[in-house]
Amino acid sequence: MKNYFLKFLFCFLVFGWISSFAQAQNNRPGFITEYENMDIRTIPPTDMVSPTKNERAMIAYNIGTYLMYQNRLTEAEEYLKEAVYLDPEFVDAMDHLGVVYRRLNRLRESEEMYLRSIELNKINKVPFLNLAVVYRLQNKLNEAFQLYLHVVQTHPNDPEGYYGMGEMFYIVGNYETSHVFFDRAIELYIEMNSTLVYDAFYYKGMIYYRTGDYDRALMYLTEARKGNPNNATLENAINDIMNSR
């Protein structure tokens, strides 16, 4: 009888521990619950560098990405954390989680996520570009410059590195060199038929505006307005030019 009781107690404790563990997993932050049955077709597709083979991680990534695009950052964080938890080498989830942390102004966590992504995949340009943005927000301009330079060197036909370099030289007031990089970015954006070309037009216009070449400034800023209709700095520059004539 005593042995039977001990066996019963042992089974009861083990079963209880398993049940508690399962419940803890379901209550763990980021565990897929509310959006479990979401139709994946409603989630905008994203370019991926290294898709995970873990189905649950992929679901969490899709949901987290959807929420990130909806600017529901706190919710997005939990699902993207879940994706990384389920696949610790899922760099696409890390990159998006880095974006979420940056938008939440948790720059240290954002930086750590991008560094982790870079360590796993040094060919992927995304964490280099996004980490450069984090460093700029931290006023680490030299570190940001080196990251953009890396992208230019490793992805010479990608406009993002040139655009970033153009911004960096613009920030420090080296307008002549900034022009060179924005010209190359514009060329590549046009080849890609990308609307991001309007952002490069904006910088070109602002450089001409700041150096007193108002005719060319107006030309570029008018083009930039097509893609940046709510840019107050752009509008102020255009109004200033028009009023000076």
Quick: pLDDT tens for 6-42: 444 334 333 343 333 334 344 444 455 555 555 554 5
Answer yes or no: is 72 within a domain: yes
Q: What per-residue confidence (pLDDT) applies to 21?
A: 31
Q: Which pLDDT belongs to residue 136?
A: 96
pLDDT tens, position by position, 45-78 = 567 788 899 989 998 999 999 999 999 999 999 9
Residue 55 lies in a domain: yes
Residue 55 sits in a domain of what CATH number? 1.25.40.10
Condensed to tens digits (0 to 9), the pLDDT of residues 159-212 reads 999 999 999 999 999 999 999 999 999 999 999 999 999 999 999 999 999 999
For 91-130, the pLDDT digits (tens) are: 999 999 999 999 999 999 999 999 999 999 999 999 999 9
The 10s digit of each residue's pLDDT in 123-149 is 999 999 999 999 999 999 999 999 999
The domain tally of the chain equals 1
Structure tokens at 50: 């290294």
Q: Is residue 162 in a domain?
A: no
- Containing 87, the helix (H) or strand (E) segment is none
**172: in domain:** no
Is residue 42 in a domain?
Answer: yes
DSSP assignment string, 152-208: HHH-TT-HHHHHHHHHHHHHTT-HHHHHHHHHHHHHHHHHHT-TTHHHHHHHHHHHH
- What pLDDT, in 10s, does the model give residues 215-243? 999 999 999 999 988 899 999 999 999 98
* Domain assignment of residue 119, yes or no: yes
The boundaries of the domain holding residue 30 are: 23-124
Question: How many Å separate Cα 136 from the centre of its chain?
Answer: 14
In a domain, 213, yes or no: no
- Can you give the pLDDT at residue 34? 56
Domain assignment present for 65: yes
